[in-house]
Amino acid sequence: MSNRIQHPVTGFGAALFLAALLASRPVIAHPEPPVESAALASVRALAPSLNVGDVVFIRVAARPFREVAAATGSWTNHVGIVIDTAGDEPLIAESSFPLSRKTTLAKFVARSEGGRVAVTRLKARLTAEQQQQLVAAAERRTGVFYDTGFDLHSRRQFCSRYVREVINEATGVQVGEVETFAAMLTRRPQTDLGFWRVWYFGQIPWQRETVTPASLLHSPELVPVFDGSMASGMAL
């Protein structure tokens, strides 16, 4: 029997999330075009410097993700982790809607608004055994439904929780800050609480614990490797 973590998705959260995604981007009648050559060139330049376990941050343009960025006062709202550098380009594991999955670095960064990308790395270099454990931890979490409620203790996954748990399981290191919605939302009084009231059907779960991409980006356990634009290839 597989030990992969699998859970059904229920409730209205997924439907609301999908509706918000569709409302925030045009309907594409044909398959997505290949990644632009400029982005590919930048990926090829960045790829050789990446290691298994590196954490990759982007900014997704869909409305729910933009609201996450606004609530945390950060440009980033989505994060994944490098699990393979042996192929033509690195592979990124991520918790995405509707299911956690693996994707190539080029496709991952192509989703970032403005081409903005940042990469961070644990202070201590991973051993070969830790790299294997990290890949196994990510694999066990592949195919898990996305948690539209961003609950650290739910049976589903969301991106920053996914990366935090994969790293912790493989290394024992905890990255990012666990905080309640009350702490996160009251820290920034300009946050659009109206959006979050609609998102949570009128009742924001103030005492729910979560972890955000912004808290991972600023984790003292991680050091910066790259912060720049894939569109121009220039560091920001």
**Residue 43 predicted with pLDDT over 50:** yes
If you average pLDDT over residues 1-30, what whole number do you get?
43
Tokens read off for 85: 């550098």
If you average pLDDT over residues 118-142, what whole number do you get?
97
Residue 211 makes CB contacts below 8 A (sequence gap 6+) with: 152, 160, 161, 164, 176, 177, 178, 179
Max CA-CA distance within the chain? 49
Going by pLDDT thresholds of 50, 70 and 90, the confidence category of residue 35 is: very low
Helix or strand or coil: residue 54? coil
If you average pLDDT over residues 212-234, what whole number do you get?
87
**Residue 20 predicted with pLDDT over 90:** no
Asked if 56 contacts 105 with a C-beta cutoff of 8 angstroms, the reply is yes
* pTM score, whole prediction: 0.84
Which comes out higher in pLDDT, residue 2 or 215?
A: 215
**Residue 32 predicted with pLDDT over 80:** no
Phi, psi of 135 (to 5 degrees): -60, -40
Going by pLDDT thresholds of 50, 70 and 90, the confidence category of residue 39 is: low
Q: pLDDT tens digits, residue range 51-85?
A: 999 999 999 999 999 999 999 999 999 999 999 99
What pLDDT sits at residue 167? Answer: 98
**Residue 38 predicted with pLDDT over 70:** no
CA atoms within a 13 Å half-sphere pointing along the CA-CB vector of 211: 23
Domains of the chain and CATH, by start: 13-18+35-225 (3.90.1720.10)
Q: At how many degrees (to 10) do helices 63-72 and 13-23 cross?
A: 100
Residue 87 CB burial class (10 angstroms; 0-12, 13-18, ≥19) = exposed
**Residue 15 predicted with pLDDT over 90:** no
What pLDDT sits at residue 231? Answer: 57
